[in-house]
A and B are shown apart, each in its own frame.
Chain A
Amino acid sequence: MTDTVAESIQGDLGQANVLRTAAGARRRRYVLVVLGWLVFIGLWWLLALWVGSEARLPSPGRVFQEIVAILQEDFWAQFWASIVRVVAGFFAAVLIGTPVGLLMGRSKYWSNFLQSPVVVAGSIPGLTYAVMAFVVFGISFWGPVLAVGLIAMPYVAINVAEGVRGVDRRLVDMSTAYGRNERQVFRHVVIPSVLPFVFAGVRLSFSLAWKVGTLTEVFGSSKGIGFQIRRNYQLFNMPGVIAWVLLFVLFMLLIERFILVRLERRLFRWRQWERET
Protein backbone atom coordinates (compact mmCIF):
# COMPACT_ATOMS: atom_id res chain seq x y z
CA MET A 1 0.00 0.00 0.00
CA THR A 2 1.93 2.93 -1.27
CA ASP A 3 -0.37 5.60 0.08
CA THR A 4 0.10 4.25 3.60
CA VAL A 5 3.86 4.35 3.28
CA ALA A 6 3.78 7.90 1.97
CA GLU A 7 1.48 8.81 4.78
CA SER A 8 3.74 7.43 7.47
CA ILE A 9 6.85 9.11 6.04
CA GLN A 10 5.07 12.39 5.96
CA GLY A 11 3.87 11.73 9.50
CA ASP A 12 7.45 11.20 10.70
CA LEU A 13 8.74 14.38 9.11
CA GLY A 14 5.80 16.31 10.56
CA GLN A 15 6.51 14.97 14.01
CA ALA A 16 10.21 15.86 13.82
CA ASN A 17 9.33 19.43 12.92
CA VAL A 18 6.91 19.69 15.76
CA LEU A 19 9.50 18.34 18.18
CA ARG A 20 12.14 20.79 17.02
CA THR A 21 9.97 23.84 17.39
CA ALA A 22 8.53 22.53 20.66
CA ALA A 23 12.06 22.29 22.16
CA GLY A 24 12.82 25.83 21.01
CA ALA A 25 9.60 27.16 22.43
CA ARG A 26 10.31 25.49 25.75
CA ARG A 27 13.79 27.01 25.95
CA ARG A 28 12.42 30.48 25.17
CA ARG A 29 9.79 30.01 27.84
CA TYR A 30 12.34 29.10 30.52
CA VAL A 31 14.41 32.18 29.67
CA LEU A 32 11.33 34.37 30.01
CA VAL A 33 10.36 32.81 33.35
CA VAL A 34 13.82 33.36 34.82
CA LEU A 35 13.91 36.90 33.44
CA GLY A 36 10.54 37.60 35.03
CA TRP A 37 11.78 36.51 38.42
CA LEU A 38 14.95 38.58 38.11
CA VAL A 39 13.00 41.72 37.23
CA PHE A 40 10.62 41.09 40.12
CA ILE A 41 13.48 40.66 42.63
CA GLY A 42 15.30 43.67 41.21
CA LEU A 43 12.25 45.95 41.61
CA TRP A 44 11.67 44.62 45.09
CA TRP A 45 15.28 45.34 46.02
CA LEU A 46 15.03 48.94 44.72
CA LEU A 47 11.74 49.46 46.55
CA ALA A 48 13.26 48.13 49.77
CA LEU A 49 16.21 50.53 49.40
CA TRP A 50 13.79 53.41 48.91
CA VAL A 51 11.60 52.44 51.90
CA GLY A 52 14.75 51.90 53.95
CA SER A 53 13.09 50.11 56.84
CA GLU A 54 13.43 46.44 57.53
CA ALA A 55 10.30 46.41 59.68
CA ARG A 56 8.21 47.64 56.79
CA LEU A 57 9.82 46.18 53.70
CA PRO A 58 12.82 43.91 54.17
CA SER A 59 15.29 43.41 51.31
CA PRO A 60 15.31 40.23 49.20
CA GLY A 61 18.57 39.12 50.82
CA ARG A 62 17.16 39.40 54.32
CA VAL A 63 14.06 37.43 53.35
CA PHE A 64 16.24 34.81 51.69
CA GLN A 65 18.12 34.31 54.97
CA GLU A 66 14.78 33.89 56.70
CA ILE A 67 13.67 31.33 54.12
CA VAL A 68 16.83 29.31 54.67
CA ALA A 69 16.25 29.46 58.41
CA ILE A 70 12.66 28.34 58.06
CA LEU A 71 13.60 25.49 55.75
CA GLN A 72 16.12 24.27 58.35
CA GLU A 73 13.61 24.61 61.12
CA ASP A 74 10.01 23.43 60.98
CA PHE A 75 8.93 24.19 57.40
CA TRP A 76 8.11 20.61 56.46
CA ALA A 77 5.94 19.99 59.51
CA GLN A 78 3.96 23.17 58.87
CA PHE A 79 3.75 22.54 55.14
CA TRP A 80 2.59 19.00 55.76
CA ALA A 81 -0.14 20.22 58.14
CA SER A 82 -1.43 22.59 55.46
CA ILE A 83 -1.27 20.20 52.55
CA VAL A 84 -3.06 17.41 54.44
CA ARG A 85 -6.00 19.74 55.05
CA VAL A 86 -6.13 20.96 51.48
CA VAL A 87 -6.03 17.41 50.15
CA ALA A 88 -8.68 16.25 52.64
CA GLY A 89 -10.89 19.19 51.67
CA PHE A 90 -10.36 18.41 48.02
CA PHE A 91 -11.22 14.80 48.54
CA ALA A 92 -14.51 15.86 50.12
CA ALA A 93 -15.14 18.25 47.21
CA VAL A 94 -14.61 15.51 44.61
CA LEU A 95 -16.67 13.04 46.65
CA ILE A 96 -19.65 15.41 46.76
CA GLY A 97 -19.08 17.37 43.57
CA THR A 98 -18.84 14.36 41.25
CA PRO A 99 -22.31 12.93 41.94
CA VAL A 100 -23.81 16.42 41.96
CA GLY A 101 -22.20 17.08 38.59
CA LEU A 102 -23.35 13.73 37.21
CA LEU A 103 -26.93 14.55 38.21
CA MET A 104 -26.70 18.02 36.69
CA GLY A 105 -25.23 16.72 33.46
CA ARG A 106 -27.74 13.91 33.07
CA SER A 107 -31.06 15.55 33.73
CA LYS A 108 -32.47 18.95 32.94
CA TYR A 109 -34.57 18.76 36.09
CA TRP A 110 -31.64 18.32 38.44
CA SER A 111 -29.63 20.82 36.48
CA ASN A 112 -32.26 23.53 37.03
CA PHE A 113 -32.60 22.53 40.66
CA LEU A 114 -28.89 22.56 41.47
CA GLN A 115 -27.58 25.22 39.10
CA SER A 116 -28.22 28.30 41.28
CA PRO A 117 -26.94 26.92 44.57
CA VAL A 118 -23.80 25.65 42.87
CA VAL A 119 -23.13 28.94 41.08
CA VAL A 120 -23.81 30.94 44.25
CA ALA A 121 -21.54 28.64 46.25
CA GLY A 122 -18.86 29.20 43.64
CA SER A 123 -19.05 32.98 43.70
CA ILE A 124 -18.95 33.52 47.49
CA PRO A 125 -15.58 35.03 48.43
CA GLY A 126 -13.14 32.63 50.04
CA LEU A 127 -12.94 34.81 53.13
CA THR A 128 -16.59 34.05 53.91
CA TYR A 129 -15.89 30.33 53.96
CA ALA A 130 -12.83 30.88 56.08
CA VAL A 131 -14.82 32.87 58.67
CA MET A 132 -17.69 30.39 58.53
CA ALA A 133 -15.40 27.44 59.03
CA PHE A 134 -13.84 29.20 62.04
CA VAL A 135 -17.27 29.98 63.54
CA VAL A 136 -18.43 26.38 63.14
CA PHE A 137 -15.31 24.53 64.21
CA GLY A 138 -13.23 27.07 66.14
CA ILE A 139 -9.54 26.32 66.09
CA SER A 140 -9.42 22.81 64.65
CA PHE A 141 -8.29 20.53 61.86
CA TRP A 142 -11.76 20.49 60.32
CA GLY A 143 -12.17 24.23 59.77
CA PRO A 144 -9.76 24.50 56.84
CA VAL A 145 -10.98 21.16 55.46
CA LEU A 146 -14.55 22.46 55.37
CA ALA A 147 -13.52 25.76 53.77
CA VAL A 148 -11.49 24.00 51.07
CA GLY A 149 -14.25 21.52 50.42
CA LEU A 150 -16.86 24.25 50.05
CA ILE A 151 -14.78 26.38 47.72
CA ALA A 152 -13.68 23.53 45.45
CA MET A 153 -16.96 21.59 45.27
CA PRO A 154 -18.78 23.90 42.79
CA TYR A 155 -15.84 23.80 40.38
CA VAL A 156 -15.77 20.04 40.42
CA ALA A 157 -19.57 19.80 40.05
CA ILE A 158 -19.80 22.29 37.18
CA ASN A 159 -16.95 20.68 35.31
CA VAL A 160 -18.29 17.17 35.75
CA ALA A 161 -21.69 18.37 34.49
CA GLU A 162 -20.02 19.94 31.46
CA GLY A 163 -18.15 16.70 30.85
CA VAL A 164 -21.28 14.57 31.04
CA ARG A 165 -23.08 16.88 28.63
CA GLY A 166 -20.11 16.59 26.31
CA VAL A 167 -20.17 12.79 26.11
CA ASP A 168 -20.24 11.91 22.43
CA ARG A 169 -23.69 10.58 21.60
CA ARG A 170 -22.26 8.81 18.56
CA LEU A 171 -19.92 6.70 20.70
CA VAL A 172 -22.80 5.75 22.99
CA ASP A 173 -24.84 4.71 19.92
CA MET A 174 -21.90 2.69 18.59
CA SER A 175 -21.73 0.88 21.95
CA THR A 176 -25.47 0.17 21.86
CA ALA A 177 -25.25 -1.17 18.32
CA TYR A 178 -22.49 -3.57 19.42
CA GLY A 179 -24.56 -4.72 22.39
CA ARG A 180 -22.50 -3.12 25.15
CA ASN A 181 -24.41 -2.82 28.44
CA GLU A 182 -24.85 0.32 30.53
CA ARG A 183 -22.04 -0.52 32.90
CA GLN A 184 -19.59 -0.96 30.01
CA VAL A 185 -20.72 2.30 28.42
CA PHE A 186 -20.27 4.10 31.73
CA ARG A 187 -16.82 2.66 32.27
CA HIS A 188 -15.43 2.92 28.74
CA VAL A 189 -17.24 5.94 27.30
CA VAL A 190 -18.62 8.18 30.06
CA ILE A 191 -15.76 8.07 32.56
CA PRO A 192 -12.97 8.65 30.00
CA SER A 193 -14.86 11.63 28.54
CA VAL A 194 -15.59 13.17 31.93
CA LEU A 195 -12.17 12.62 33.49
CA PRO A 196 -10.40 15.48 31.67
CA PHE A 197 -13.15 17.82 32.86
CA VAL A 198 -12.81 16.65 36.46
CA PHE A 199 -9.13 17.26 36.16
CA ALA A 200 -9.63 20.73 34.76
CA GLY A 201 -11.96 21.46 37.69
CA VAL A 202 -9.36 20.25 40.15
CA ARG A 203 -6.63 22.32 38.55
CA LEU A 204 -8.79 25.42 38.36
CA SER A 205 -9.81 25.22 41.98
CA PHE A 206 -6.50 24.02 43.37
CA SER A 207 -4.89 27.44 43.81
CA LEU A 208 -8.15 28.82 45.15
CA ALA A 209 -8.45 25.97 47.63
CA TRP A 210 -4.85 26.34 48.72
CA LYS A 211 -5.45 30.07 49.34
CA VAL A 212 -8.66 29.57 51.30
CA GLY A 213 -7.12 26.76 53.31
CA THR A 214 -4.26 29.03 54.28
CA LEU A 215 -6.60 31.93 55.00
CA THR A 216 -8.61 29.73 57.35
CA GLU A 217 -5.42 28.72 59.12
CA VAL A 218 -4.66 32.38 59.77
CA PHE A 219 -7.32 32.52 62.45
CA GLY A 220 -8.71 29.00 62.73
CA SER A 221 -5.65 26.92 63.36
CA SER A 222 -2.60 26.45 65.52
CA LYS A 223 -0.52 24.89 62.75
CA GLY A 224 0.17 25.28 59.07
CA ILE A 225 1.50 27.97 56.76
CA GLY A 226 -1.38 30.40 57.42
CA PHE A 227 -0.83 30.19 61.13
CA GLN A 228 2.91 30.88 60.70
CA ILE A 229 2.13 34.00 58.68
CA ARG A 230 -0.07 35.32 61.45
CA ARG A 231 2.44 34.45 64.20
CA ASN A 232 5.26 36.29 62.44
CA TYR A 233 2.96 39.23 61.83
CA GLN A 234 2.10 39.40 65.53
CA LEU A 235 5.82 39.34 66.36
CA PHE A 236 6.35 42.24 63.90
CA ASN A 237 8.72 39.97 62.01
CA MET A 238 8.23 41.25 58.46
CA PRO A 239 11.00 39.12 56.90
CA GLY A 240 9.28 36.08 58.44
CA VAL A 241 5.90 37.04 57.02
CA ILE A 242 7.28 37.56 53.53
CA ALA A 243 9.40 34.42 53.69
CA TRP A 244 6.38 32.27 54.53
CA VAL A 245 4.28 33.92 51.85
CA LEU A 246 6.99 33.30 49.26
CA LEU A 247 7.39 29.69 50.32
CA PHE A 248 3.64 29.32 50.04
CA VAL A 249 3.61 30.69 46.50
CA LEU A 250 6.62 28.63 45.49
CA PHE A 251 5.13 25.38 46.67
CA MET A 252 1.82 26.10 45.05
CA LEU A 253 3.61 26.57 41.74
CA LEU A 254 5.69 23.44 42.21
CA ILE A 255 2.69 21.28 43.02
CA GLU A 256 0.78 22.69 40.08
CA ARG A 257 3.67 22.32 37.59
CA PHE A 258 5.21 19.07 38.68
CA ILE A 259 2.40 17.04 40.10
CA LEU A 260 -0.87 18.17 38.52
CA VAL A 261 0.41 18.93 35.02
CA ARG A 262 2.46 15.73 34.85
CA LEU A 263 -0.36 13.60 36.13
CA GLU A 264 -2.65 15.15 33.56
CA ARG A 265 -0.22 14.42 30.73
CA ARG A 266 0.16 10.84 31.83
CA LEU A 267 -3.53 10.19 32.26
CA PHE A 268 -4.50 11.80 28.99
CA ARG A 269 -1.70 10.59 26.76
CA TRP A 270 -4.19 9.94 23.95
CA ARG A 271 -5.15 13.60 23.85
CA GLN A 272 -1.91 14.73 22.26
CA TRP A 273 -3.08 13.11 19.03
CA GLU A 274 -6.59 14.31 19.19
CA ARG A 275 -7.62 16.25 16.13
CA GLU A 276 -10.61 18.23 15.18
CA THR A 277 -12.88 15.99 13.11
Chain B
Amino acid sequence: MAQVIINRLKKTFPPPTKDGDPVVAIGDISLEVEGNVFVSIVGPSGCGKSTLLNILSGVETPTSGTVSVTEGGRAAHLGYVFQDARLLPWRTVMDNMLYVRDDGDAGETKATRYLDMVGLSHTHDMFPGQLSGGMQQRVGIARAFSVEPDLLLMDEPFSHLDAITARSLRDHLQELWSATRKTVLFVTHDVVEAVQLSDRIIVLAPGGRIFDDISIDLPHPRRATDPKVATLQAEILGRFEEMHPAPATA
Protein backbone atom coordinates (compact mmCIF):
# COMPACT_ATOMS: atom_id res chain seq x y z
CA MET B 1 0.00 0.00 0.00
CA ALA B 2 2.20 2.71 -1.29
CA GLN B 3 1.97 6.34 -2.13
CA VAL B 4 3.20 7.45 -5.53
CA ILE B 5 3.58 11.16 -6.27
CA ILE B 6 4.71 12.26 -9.69
CA ASN B 7 5.19 15.99 -10.09
CA ARG B 8 5.74 17.70 -13.47
CA LEU B 9 7.86 14.83 -14.68
CA LYS B 10 9.78 15.20 -17.96
CA LYS B 11 12.15 12.81 -19.61
CA THR B 12 14.05 13.37 -22.84
CA PHE B 13 16.62 11.09 -24.40
CA PRO B 14 19.58 12.30 -26.46
CA PRO B 15 18.88 12.49 -30.20
CA PRO B 16 19.29 9.14 -31.95
CA THR B 17 21.17 10.74 -34.89
CA LYS B 18 23.80 13.51 -34.79
CA ASP B 19 21.62 16.34 -36.06
CA GLY B 20 18.22 15.07 -34.89
CA ASP B 21 16.06 16.42 -32.09
CA PRO B 22 16.10 14.92 -28.60
CA VAL B 23 13.44 12.27 -28.07
CA VAL B 24 10.71 13.35 -25.71
CA ALA B 25 9.62 10.21 -23.88
CA ILE B 26 7.59 11.96 -21.19
CA GLY B 27 6.33 15.47 -21.88
CA ASP B 28 4.81 16.59 -18.61
CA ILE B 29 3.13 14.21 -16.21
CA SER B 30 1.73 14.86 -12.76
CA LEU B 31 -0.06 12.03 -11.03
CA GLU B 32 -0.90 10.71 -7.60
CA VAL B 33 -1.74 7.13 -6.73
CA GLU B 34 -2.40 5.91 -3.22
CA GLY B 35 -3.71 2.87 -1.48
CA ASN B 36 -4.71 -0.59 -2.59
CA VAL B 37 -5.58 0.30 -6.12
CA PHE B 38 -4.95 -1.35 -9.40
CA VAL B 39 -4.02 1.37 -11.89
CA SER B 40 -3.53 0.72 -15.58
CA ILE B 41 -1.52 2.94 -17.85
CA VAL B 42 -2.56 2.59 -21.45
CA GLY B 43 -1.49 4.37 -24.59
CA PRO B 44 0.00 3.83 -28.02
CA SER B 45 3.51 2.52 -28.54
CA GLY B 46 6.31 5.00 -27.76
CA CYS B 47 4.29 7.29 -25.48
CA GLY B 48 6.64 6.71 -22.54
CA LYS B 49 4.91 3.98 -20.55
CA SER B 50 8.02 1.86 -19.95
CA THR B 51 10.08 4.98 -19.33
CA LEU B 52 7.65 6.01 -16.59
CA LEU B 53 8.01 2.68 -14.80
CA ASN B 54 11.78 2.80 -15.22
CA ILE B 55 11.92 6.21 -13.56
CA LEU B 56 9.70 5.02 -10.70
CA SER B 57 11.97 2.02 -10.14
CA GLY B 58 15.19 4.04 -10.26
CA VAL B 59 16.48 2.48 -13.47
CA GLU B 60 16.25 5.86 -15.25
CA THR B 61 16.55 9.36 -13.78
CA PRO B 62 14.10 12.19 -14.58
CA THR B 63 15.23 15.05 -16.84
CA SER B 64 13.15 17.38 -14.67
CA GLY B 65 10.36 17.11 -12.13
CA THR B 66 10.21 14.70 -9.20
CA VAL B 67 8.86 11.31 -8.32
CA SER B 68 8.45 9.86 -4.87
CA VAL B 69 7.43 6.34 -4.02
CA THR B 70 6.89 5.91 -0.30
CA GLU B 71 5.23 3.68 2.20
CA GLY B 72 4.43 5.16 5.59
CA GLY B 73 7.28 7.64 5.32
CA ARG B 74 10.01 5.26 4.13
CA ALA B 75 11.00 4.33 0.58
CA ALA B 76 8.62 1.70 -0.74
CA HIS B 77 9.69 -1.82 -1.69
CA LEU B 78 9.20 -2.52 -5.37
CA GLY B 79 8.40 -5.53 -7.47
CA TYR B 80 8.78 -5.20 -11.23
CA VAL B 81 7.45 -7.52 -13.92
CA PHE B 82 9.01 -6.67 -17.26
CA GLN B 83 7.82 -7.08 -20.84
CA ASP B 84 10.25 -10.01 -21.03
CA ALA B 85 10.90 -12.36 -18.11
CA ARG B 86 14.47 -11.12 -17.38
CA LEU B 87 15.66 -14.15 -15.48
CA LEU B 88 19.37 -14.84 -15.06
CA PRO B 89 19.92 -17.71 -17.51
CA TRP B 90 22.80 -19.13 -15.45
CA ARG B 91 20.77 -19.56 -12.28
CA THR B 92 18.02 -22.01 -11.51
CA VAL B 93 14.46 -20.83 -11.01
CA MET B 94 14.85 -20.91 -7.24
CA ASP B 95 18.18 -19.10 -7.36
CA ASN B 96 16.55 -16.45 -9.52
CA MET B 97 13.85 -16.02 -6.89
CA LEU B 98 16.50 -15.77 -4.16
CA TYR B 99 18.65 -13.30 -6.11
CA VAL B 100 16.21 -10.45 -5.43
CA ARG B 101 15.93 -11.20 -1.71
CA ASP B 102 18.33 -10.38 1.06
CA ASP B 103 17.47 -13.13 3.49
CA GLY B 104 19.38 -15.89 1.67
CA ASP B 105 18.18 -19.44 2.24
CA ALA B 106 15.59 -18.30 4.77
CA GLY B 107 13.63 -16.77 1.91
CA GLU B 108 13.30 -20.13 0.23
CA THR B 109 10.00 -20.98 1.94
CA LYS B 110 8.51 -17.71 0.82
CA ALA B 111 9.87 -18.05 -2.70
CA THR B 112 8.46 -21.58 -2.89
CA ARG B 113 5.05 -20.36 -1.82
CA TYR B 114 4.85 -17.80 -4.62
CA LEU B 115 6.22 -20.24 -7.19
CA ASP B 116 3.45 -22.55 -6.07
CA MET B 117 0.87 -19.80 -6.60
CA VAL B 118 1.79 -19.54 -10.28
CA GLY B 119 1.78 -23.33 -10.54
CA LEU B 120 5.52 -23.74 -11.01
CA SER B 121 6.90 -25.29 -7.83
CA HIS B 122 8.11 -28.26 -9.89
CA THR B 123 10.51 -26.01 -11.81
CA HIS B 124 12.47 -25.20 -8.64
CA ASP B 125 15.77 -26.62 -9.94
CA MET B 126 15.35 -25.96 -13.64
CA PHE B 127 17.19 -23.35 -15.62
CA PRO B 128 15.14 -20.63 -17.35
CA GLY B 129 16.14 -22.02 -20.75
CA GLN B 130 14.26 -25.21 -19.90
CA LEU B 131 10.98 -23.35 -19.46
CA SER B 132 8.59 -22.10 -22.12
CA GLY B 133 8.18 -18.36 -22.58
CA GLY B 134 4.90 -18.37 -20.64
CA MET B 135 6.44 -20.30 -17.76
CA GLN B 136 9.38 -17.89 -17.63
CA GLN B 137 6.97 -14.99 -17.49
CA ARG B 138 5.14 -16.68 -14.60
CA VAL B 139 8.44 -16.99 -12.74
CA GLY B 140 8.92 -13.27 -13.33
CA ILE B 141 5.51 -12.63 -11.81
CA ALA B 142 6.19 -14.92 -8.85
CA ARG B 143 9.51 -13.16 -8.30
CA ALA B 144 7.80 -9.76 -8.19
CA PHE B 145 5.16 -10.94 -5.71
CA SER B 146 7.66 -12.84 -3.57
CA VAL B 147 9.48 -9.70 -2.48
CA GLU B 148 6.09 -8.66 -1.03
CA PRO B 149 6.37 -5.20 -2.52
CA ASP B 150 4.44 -2.12 -1.46
CA LEU B 151 4.26 -1.14 -5.10
CA LEU B 152 4.09 -3.58 -7.97
CA LEU B 153 5.11 -2.36 -11.42
CA MET B 154 4.06 -4.45 -14.41
CA ASP B 155 5.05 -3.60 -17.97
CA GLU B 156 2.86 -5.39 -20.51
CA PRO B 157 3.53 -8.67 -18.73
CA PHE B 158 1.25 -10.68 -21.03
CA SER B 159 1.91 -9.06 -24.40
CA HIS B 160 4.34 -11.72 -25.61
CA LEU B 161 2.04 -14.57 -24.73
CA ASP B 162 -0.69 -16.35 -26.65
CA ALA B 163 -4.29 -15.40 -25.87
CA ILE B 164 -5.07 -18.52 -23.84
CA THR B 165 -2.02 -18.33 -21.59
CA ALA B 166 -2.55 -14.58 -21.20
CA ARG B 167 -6.13 -15.11 -20.13
CA SER B 168 -5.25 -17.69 -17.51
CA LEU B 169 -2.45 -15.49 -16.19
CA ARG B 170 -4.83 -12.55 -15.97
CA ASP B 171 -7.13 -14.62 -13.75
CA HIS B 172 -4.09 -15.65 -11.74
CA LEU B 173 -3.06 -12.05 -11.34
CA GLN B 174 -6.51 -11.04 -10.07
CA GLU B 175 -6.40 -13.85 -7.54
CA LEU B 176 -2.92 -12.94 -6.37
CA TRP B 177 -3.85 -9.30 -6.16
CA SER B 178 -7.04 -9.99 -4.20
CA ALA B 179 -5.05 -12.11 -1.79
CA THR B 180 -2.25 -9.61 -1.25
CA ARG B 181 -3.83 -6.22 -2.09
CA LYS B 182 -0.99 -3.96 -2.99
CA THR B 183 -0.67 -0.86 -5.15
CA VAL B 184 -0.26 -1.88 -8.77
CA LEU B 185 0.80 0.14 -11.80
CA PHE B 186 0.05 -1.95 -14.82
CA VAL B 187 1.18 -0.88 -18.30
CA THR B 188 -0.64 -2.25 -21.31
CA HIS B 189 -1.83 -1.24 -24.73
CA ASP B 190 -4.76 -3.52 -24.45
CA VAL B 191 -7.79 -1.49 -23.32
CA VAL B 192 -9.87 -4.60 -22.88
CA GLU B 193 -7.33 -6.02 -20.46
CA ALA B 194 -7.10 -2.68 -18.63
CA VAL B 195 -10.87 -2.51 -18.08
CA GLN B 196 -11.02 -6.05 -16.77
CA LEU B 197 -8.24 -5.55 -14.24
CA SER B 198 -8.18 -1.97 -13.00
CA ASP B 199 -9.85 0.47 -10.65
CA ARG B 200 -8.42 3.36 -12.57
CA ILE B 201 -7.09 3.83 -16.10
CA ILE B 202 -4.61 6.54 -17.02
CA VAL B 203 -4.55 7.14 -20.77
CA LEU B 204 -1.32 8.55 -22.15
CA ALA B 205 -1.09 10.32 -25.50
CA PRO B 206 1.93 10.38 -27.81
CA GLY B 207 4.52 12.82 -26.47
CA GLY B 208 4.03 11.49 -22.94
CA ARG B 209 1.09 13.47 -21.59
CA ILE B 210 -1.98 12.36 -19.69
CA PHE B 211 -4.95 12.28 -22.06
CA ASP B 212 -7.58 10.86 -19.76
CA ASP B 213 -8.04 9.53 -16.25
CA ILE B 214 -10.94 7.07 -15.84
CA SER B 215 -12.23 5.35 -12.71
CA ILE B 216 -13.88 1.98 -12.93
CA ASP B 217 -16.22 0.99 -10.17
CA LEU B 218 -16.90 -2.74 -10.49
CA PRO B 219 -16.24 -5.42 -7.90
CA HIS B 220 -13.20 -7.72 -8.28
CA PRO B 221 -12.49 -10.31 -9.54
CA ARG B 222 -14.00 -9.59 -12.93
CA ARG B 223 -14.49 -12.06 -15.68
CA ALA B 224 -13.59 -11.01 -19.21
CA THR B 225 -16.98 -12.28 -20.34
CA ASP B 226 -18.99 -10.26 -17.78
CA PRO B 227 -21.47 -8.08 -19.76
CA LYS B 228 -20.84 -5.05 -17.50
CA VAL B 229 -17.13 -5.31 -18.26
CA ALA B 230 -17.85 -5.68 -21.96
CA THR B 231 -20.07 -2.56 -22.02
CA LEU B 232 -17.42 -0.47 -20.29
CA GLN B 233 -14.78 -1.78 -22.66
CA ALA B 234 -16.78 -0.64 -25.65
CA GLU B 235 -17.37 2.79 -24.13
CA ILE B 236 -13.71 3.37 -23.31
CA LEU B 237 -12.56 2.13 -26.69
CA GLY B 238 -14.93 4.78 -28.11
CA ARG B 239 -13.18 7.52 -26.15
CA PHE B 240 -9.89 6.23 -27.48
CA GLU B 241 -10.91 6.94 -31.00
CA GLU B 242 -11.01 10.65 -30.16
CA MET B 243 -7.28 10.58 -29.57
CA HIS B 244 -6.26 9.76 -33.16
CA PRO B 245 -2.78 8.64 -32.22
CA ALA B 246 -0.32 9.76 -34.86
CA PRO B 247 1.92 6.94 -36.05
CA ALA B 248 5.28 6.98 -34.25
CA THR B 249 7.79 9.10 -36.13
CA ALA B 250 10.67 7.09 -37.51
- Chain A, residue nearest B153 (CB): A177
Please measure, in the bound complex, the distance between the C-alpha atom of A253 and the C-alpha atom of B248, giving whole angstroms.
56
Query: Could you tell me if A177 and B84 are in contact, using CB atoms closer than 8 angstroms?
Result: no
Q: How far is the CB of A215 from chain B (nearest CB, A)?
A: 38
| Residue A73 interfacial (CB < 8 Å) | no
Q: Is B130 among interface residues, defined by CB-CB distance under 8 A?
A: yes
A256 to chain B, nearest CB (A): 24
Give every chain A residue within 8 A of B130 (Cβ-Cβ).
Answer: 11, 273
Inter-chain contact A7/B119, CB cutoff 8 Å? no
A7-35 at interface with B (beta carbon < 8 Å): 7, 11
Q: Which of A176, A179, A270, A275 contacts B90 (CB 8 A)?
A: A270
Confirm or deny: A132 has a beta carbon within 8 angstroms of a beta carbon on chain B.
no
A189 CA to B100 CA, complexed, in Å: 12
Known: A3-B165, A188-B99. A177 touches B80 (CB 8 A): yes
Question: With an 8 A cutoff between CB atoms, is A173 at the interface?
Answer: yes
> Complex: how many Å from CA A174 to CA B78?
11
Report which of B57, B59, B88, B135 forms a contact with A192, defined as CB distance below 8 A: B88
Residue A55 interfacial (CB < 8 Å): no
Q: Specify which chain A residues have a CB less than 8 angstroms from the CB of B179 in the assembled complex.
A: none
CB distance from B234 to the nearest CB of A (A): 30
Given A4-B135, A173-B54, residue A188 in contact with residue B91 (CB < 8 A): yes
Chain A residues with Cβ under 8 A from B99's Cβ?
175, 178, 180, 188
Is A74 in the interface zone, CB < 8 Å from B? no
Q: What separation, in Å, do the CA atoms of A177 and B91 have in the docked complex? A: 18
Inter-chain contact count A-B, CB under 8 Å?
A: 66
Chain A residue numbers with a CB within 8 Å of B129 are 270-275
Q: Which residues of chain B have C-beta atoms less than 8 A from A178's C-beta? A: 78-80, 99-100, 147
B82 within 8 A of A: yes
User: Which residues of B lie under 8 Å from residue A4 when comparing CB positions?
Assistant: 119, 135
- Cα(A119)–Cα(B79), bound, Å: 44
CB of B127 closer than 8 Å to a CB of A: yes
Give the chain B neighbours of A254 by CB distance below 8 A.
none
Interface residue A234 (Cβ < 8 Å from any Cβ of B): no
Q: Is B22 an interface residue (CB 8 A)?
A: no
The answer on a CB contact under 8 Å between B80 and A174 is: yes
Contact B165 A174 (CB under 8 A): no
Cross-chain contact B88 with A176 (CB below 8 angstroms):
no
Chain A: interface size category:
20 to 34
B residues near A175, Cβ cutoff 8 Å: 99
In whole angstroms, what is the CA distance A268 to B127 when docked? 12
B164 within 8 A of A: yes
Question: Does A246 reach chain B (CB closer than 8 Å)?
Answer: no
Instruction: Report chain A residues within 8 Å CB of B135.
Output: 4, 7
Min CB–CB distance A209 → chain B (angstroms):
27
- Compute how far the CA of A277 lies from the CA of B133 in the bound complex, rounded to whole angstroms: 9
Would you call B104 an interface residue if the criterion is a C-beta within 8 Å of the partner chain's C-beta atoms?
no
Indicate if the CB atoms of B88 and A7 lie closer than 8 Å. Answer: no
| B82 & A174 in contact (Cβ 8 Å cutoff) | yes
Instruction: Verify if A39 is at the interface (C-beta below 8 Å from B).
Output: no
Are A270 and B147 neighbours in the complex by a CB distance under 8 Å? no
B119 to chain A, nearest CB (A): 5
**Which residue from B59, B89, B119 sits with its C-beta under 8 Å from A274?**
B89
A272 to B126 CA separation, bound complex (whole angstroms) = 12
B-facing residues in A146-186 (Cβ within 8 Å): 170-171, 173-180
A234-277 CB contact bits vs B (8 Å, 1 = yes)? 00000000000000000000000000000000001111111101
Determine whether the beta carbon of B88 is less than 8 Å from that of A177: no
How far does the alpha carbon of A133 sit from the alpha carbon of B16 in the complex, in Å? 49
Beta-carbon contact of B86 and A176 below 8 Å: no
The CA of A273 and the CA of B99, in the complex, are separated in Å by 20
Q: Which residues of B contact A180 (CB under 8 A)?
A: 99-100
| B31 CB to nearest A CB, Å | 19
Q: Is B109 an interface residue (CB 8 A)?
A: no
Tell yes or no: B58 within 8 A of A by CB.
Answer: yes
Across the interface, name the chain A residue whose C-beta is closest to B78. Answer: A177
Pair B86/A171 contact, Cβ less than 8 Å: yes
Contact B127 A270, beta carbon cutoff 8 Å: yes
B86 pairs with A170, CB closer than 8 A = yes
Cβ of A1 within 8 Å of any chain B Cβ, yes or no, is yes
Q: Does chain A have a CB within 8 A of B132?
A: yes
Which residues from chain A contact B82 at a C-beta distance below 8 Å?
Answer: 170, 174
Could you jot down 12 A-B contacts, CB within 8 Å? A3-B165, A4-B119, A170-B82, A173-B59, A176-B58, A176-B59, A177-B54, A178-B79, A192-B88, A268-B90, A273-B127, A273-B128
7 further A-B pairs in the complex, CB-CB below 8 A; given A7-B135, A271-B89: A173-B54, A174-B80, A176-B57, A176-B58, A178-B80, A192-B88, A273-B128
Q: Which 4 A-B pairs give the minimum distances between C-beta atoms?
A: A273-B129, A177-B57, A178-B100, A174-B86
